């Protein structure tokens, strides 16, 4: 996998801990990645209605609702990959009885595991996560 979930969590935690709107440049400075990458993820989080933005001077980003109302599952949903258990780029041999069916069965397994994970992540919210910081 890539770094999208960690970065999304970092963004959301910063916003949860702040009273004021934060700029993408400020957040990029805390995360220590390129500001454009942060803005791309911010766009995505807006699309998923987890945050909102204010354009123009003194603009920035803030949570769209209280941290207690944002489950970690909803953050994960915003950045989740196609397959949590990984995805090979091969096309298994359709002439082989195993190769012919394996993708279907692996996808079923993947869906089950993803659901289990989401259930677990759904038990915690952003405000709870934020409390761990002192």
Task: State the Cα–Cα distance between residues 53 and 86, nearest whole angstrom.
Answer: 33
Residue 61: its H or E element: strand 60-63
Interaction partner, residue 66 (a second copy, DNA, none; CB < 5-8 Å by kind) = none
Q: For the CA atoms of 33, 36, 37, 43, what is the dihedral angle to 10 degrees?
A: 140
DSSP letters along 1-27, please? --SHHHHHHHHHHHHHH-SS-B-HHHH
3 state SS of 125: strand
Q: Are strands 51-54 and 60-63 parallel, antiparallel or unpaired?
A: antiparallel
Q: Examine residue 91 and tell whether it contacts DNA (CB under 7 A).
A: no
Interaction partner, residue 60 (DNA, a second copy, none; CB < 5-8 Å by kind) = DNA
Q: Examine residue 56 and tell whether it contacts DNA (CB under 7 A).
A: yes
Window 92-131: residues binding a second copy (CB under 8 A): 92-93, 96-99, 101-102, 105-106, 109, 112-113, 116-117, 120-121, 129
**What residues make contact with DNA under the rule CB under 7 A?**
1-4, 22-25, 33-37, 39-40, 42-43, 46, 53-61, 88-90
**What residues make contact with a second copy under the rule CB under 8 A?**
1-7, 9-10, 13-14, 17, 29-33, 72, 76, 81, 83-93, 96-99, 101-102, 105-106, 109, 112-113, 116-117, 120-121, 129, 132-134
């Amino acid at each position: 996998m890539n770094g999208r979930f960690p970065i999304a969590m970092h963004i959301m935690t910063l916003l949860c801990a702040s009273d004021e709107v934060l700029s993408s440049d400020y957040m990029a400075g805390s995360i220590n990645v390129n500001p454009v990458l942060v803005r791309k993820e911010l766009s995505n989080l807006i699309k998923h209605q987890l945050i909102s933005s204010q354009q123009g001077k003194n603009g920035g980003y803030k949570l769209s609702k209280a941290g207690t109302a944002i489950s970690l599952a909803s953050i994960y949903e915003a950045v989740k990959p196609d397959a949590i258990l990984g995805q090979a780029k091969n096309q298994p041999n359709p002439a082989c009885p195993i190769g012919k069916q394996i993708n279907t069965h692996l996808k079923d397994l993947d869906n089950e595991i993803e659901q289990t994970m989401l259930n677990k992540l759904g038990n915690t919210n952003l405000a709870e996560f934020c409390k761990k910081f002192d």
